[in-house]
């Protein structure tokens, strides 16, 4: 972590303590639970008791915070015994629970005093005094279960942020305001892309025609690209026998994210959380030699994972989603080439959506704790070296994270910056030693001996839902023409041109262009405004002159006027941009 990030973390942690102290002074009797610094700020969880606190109280709270900041109170760290700490927080069951954990670890308790007025159980870090806080803002309020467990009490959480300067804070708040405008849930509703229905079930998106069109275009482009690059399509059911998940290890290690079994004919079945075991079974349906490999199996497979209700976030984090999944089974010699090809494929696909220059992380095992990772040393060394060499060959900058590999293999993750500068984790390439071993996957090598192949997981777009949510926010709903659910809106100036507008629409449809015709008895400007709000790329305006000339007057959703064009020329313009997957109109 950089020095600036360390400063920010300490500053934000201190600002959270100031918030907590201000809350105590304004609302006597509330109980503080926890309040860490987080990536872009901090939050404070508390039990409000009899008080009802909302965002309308923020000005009052910030005013109280400013008094504490102006007092320039020093922060002082003190190490005390568990017994002393229990006495200090004797009326707070939340702190007592934290102390239980600290005691179980055999560690002393540390507290931080703000002046001599306020104390909290805390490991730090903090700045020297409250006077160092120059730029801060309370952002929002929400409910949060104690320790994220739905079985625990619902607490109140206040989010805030702090920066080293007012300029940095102002820029952050500007981006936050823009992020609200771009919220995929808001845009998804206004553009009629998808919906969630409580009766249907939390976290289960329903795609409306326009959203389903975008989803299909993304799937078709990605999947057809895979087929051209040597992948083979497979499809696996939505449920599988519980014994399969026990054998794969998912039931033991992934149980909390899996739905409860259902009874069918005296056997138990589970909704699949992953597609991997199904692909393993397809591989095992026949014997393989080294000549058959690599085998690349691809599936847009819908999976189901239990996410806590408080963690659901539109289609960015639903409970049912379709994974852009592929598994490559290969020999050790083939591993380096397959990894380079996967990176090439990732770059090609993401460039078409306007994402470039990924931030890459390489997660490897900790050589000092090899017992935590399955698989032999030779396989780990080969896999880690192959992953690292592939990144070097592609001249990609990456960070190496020791000990961050999954227990079953090393991986590389790709993050792309969106239009707001946020890093979005989108692609993972994972080596797996677990499933080949658990399912005894083999192939016959050049010498006629049975060998265990390497298995690579590759979720290129991740989940279609998450990718689509990121894309909506990245584009603010202004999709490139090839993805737009409606590519052209034909707008007759008056009712007299409705018949010509219909003919224009038919000609566009004949060329596989998605079109709508606005024959409402409204003004032209009203129709243009509606098309712009719907973020339709092209408007083909037709009046008496256009009808006589066999032309259309073209406007873009950006309000740029391209003037009158022959209909055939307009059609070719659109077809060219669709076929090339152009980002610009």
Q: Residues marked as binding for Zn(2+)? A: 276, 327, 457
Distance from the Cα of residue 569 to its chain's centroid: 40
Q: What element of type H or E holds 156?
A: strand 154-163
Q: How far is CA 146 from CA 119, 152, 165, 312, 478, in A?
A: 21, 6, 33, 17, 39
Q: Is 286 exposed, middle or buried (0-12, 13-18, 19+ CB in 10 A)?
A: exposed
Q: What is the rounded distance in angstroms from the CA atom of residue 441 to the CA atom of residue 450?
A: 9
The verdict on whether 325 is a catalytic residue reads yes
Q: What is the rounded distance in angstroms from the CA atom of residue 375 to the CA atom of residue 409?
A: 8
The verdict on whether 305 is a catalytic residue reads yes
Q: Per the residue annotation, which of 13, 17, 47, 276 is the catalytic one?
A: 276
The verdict on whether 47 is a catalytic residue reads no
Give which of 187, 314, 319, 296 is closest to 232, Cα–Cα.
296
Locate all alpha helices (DSSP H) within 47-183, ordered by sequence. 58-70, 82-88, 93-104, 166-182
Q: What is the rounded distance in angstroms from the CA atom of residue 41 to the CA atom of residue 199?
A: 36
The verdict on whether 276 is a catalytic residue reads yes
The answer to whether residues 398 and 429 touch, using CB atoms and an 8 Å cutoff, is: no
The verdict on whether 330 is a catalytic residue reads no
The verdict on whether 12 is a catalytic residue reads no
Helix, strand, or coil (residue 506): helix
Q: Show the tokens assigned to 281.
A: 């079974």
Q: Which residue has the tokens 């980002």?
A: 583
Q: Residues annotated in the binding site, as ranges?
A: 276, 327, 457
Q: Per the residue annotation, which of 13, 184, 185, 457 is the catalytic one?
A: 457
Q: Which residue has the tokens 């077809």?
A: 575
Q: Per the residue annotation, which of 325, 418, 432, 518 is the catalytic one?
A: 325
* Beta-bridge mates of residue 430: 411, 457
Q: Per the residue annotation, which of 126, 305, 352, 527 is the catalytic one?
A: 305
Q: What is the DSSP letter of 371?
A: G
Q: What is the DSSP letter of 57?
A: G
Q: What is the rounded distance in angstroms from the CA atom of residue 111 to the CA atom of residue 395?
A: 47
Helix, strand, or coil (residue 561): strand
- Positions annotated as catalytic residues are 276, 305, 323, 325, 327, 411, 457
């Amino acid at each position: 972590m950089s020095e600036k990030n360390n400063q920010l973390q300490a500053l934000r942690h201190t600002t959270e303590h100031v918030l907590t102290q201000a809350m105590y002074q304004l609302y006597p009797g509330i109980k503080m639970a926890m309040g860490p610094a987080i990536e872009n700020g901090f939050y404070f969880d508390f039990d409000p008791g009899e008080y009802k606190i909302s965002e309308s109280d923020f000005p009052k709270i910030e005013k109280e915070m400013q008094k504490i900041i102006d007092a320039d109170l020093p922060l002082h760290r003190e190490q005390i015994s568990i017994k002393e700490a229990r006495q200090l927080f004797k009326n707070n069951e939340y702190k007592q629970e934290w102390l239980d954990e600290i005691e179980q670890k055999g560690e002393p308790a540390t507290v931080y005093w703000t002046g001599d007025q306020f104390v909290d159980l805390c490991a730090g870090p903090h700045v020297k005094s409250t006077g160092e806080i120059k730029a801060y803002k309370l952002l929002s309020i929400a409910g949060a279960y104690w320790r994220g467990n739905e079985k625990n009490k619902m607490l109140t959480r206040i989010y805030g942020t702090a920066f080293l300067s007012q300029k940095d804070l102002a820029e952050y708040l500007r981006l936050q305001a823009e992020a609200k405008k771009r919220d995929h849930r808001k845009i998804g509703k206004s553009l009629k892309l998808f919906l969630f229905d409580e009766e249907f079930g939390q976290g289960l998106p329903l795609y409306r025609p326009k959203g389903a069109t975008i989803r299909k275009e993304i799937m078709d482009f990605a999947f057809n690209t895979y087929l051209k690059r040597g992948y083979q399509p497979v499809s696996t059911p939505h449920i599988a026998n519980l014994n399969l998940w026990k054998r794969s290890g998912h039931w033991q290690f992934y149980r909390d994210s899996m739905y409860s079994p259902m009874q069918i004919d005296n056997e138990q079945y589970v909704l699949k959380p992953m597609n991997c075991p199904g692909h393993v079974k397809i591989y095992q349906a026949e014997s393989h030699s080294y000549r058959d490999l690599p085998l690349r199996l691809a599936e847009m497979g819908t999976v189901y994972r239990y996410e806590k209700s408080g963690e659901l976030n539109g289609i960015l984090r639903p409970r049912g989603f379709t994974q852009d999944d592929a598994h490559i089974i290969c020999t050790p010699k083939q591993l380096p080439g397959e990894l380079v090809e996967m990176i090439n494929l990732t770059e090609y696909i993401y460039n078409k959506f306007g994402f470039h220059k990924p931030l890459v992380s390489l997660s490897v095992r900790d050589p000092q704790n090899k017992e935590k990772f399955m698989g032999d040393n030779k396989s780990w060394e080969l896999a880690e070296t192959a992953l690292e060499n592939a990144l070097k060959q592609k001249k990609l900058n990456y960070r190496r994270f020791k000990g961050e590999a999954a227990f079953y293999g090393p991986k590389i993750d790709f993050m792309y910056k969106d239009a707001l500068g946020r890093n979005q984790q989108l692609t993972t390439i994972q080596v797996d030693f677990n499933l080949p071993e658990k399912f005894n996957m083999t192939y016959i090598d050049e010498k006629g001996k049975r060998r265990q192949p390497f298995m690579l997981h590759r979720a290129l777009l991740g989940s279609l839902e998450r990718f689509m949510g990121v894309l909506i926010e990245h584009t603010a709903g202004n999709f490139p023409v090839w993805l737009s659910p409606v590519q052209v809106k034909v707008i007759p100036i008056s009712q007299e041109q409705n018949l010509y507008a219909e003919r224009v629409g038919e000609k566009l449809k004949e060329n596989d262009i998605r079109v709508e015709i606005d024959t409402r008895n409204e003004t032209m400007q009203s129709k243009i405004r509606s098309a712009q709000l719907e973020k339709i790329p092209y408007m083909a305006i037709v009046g008496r002159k256009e009808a006589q000339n066999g032309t259309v007057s073209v406007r873009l959703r950006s309000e740029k006027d391209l003037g009158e064009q022959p209909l055939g020329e307009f059609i070719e313009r659109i077809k060219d941009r669709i076929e090339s997957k152009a980002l610009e109109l």
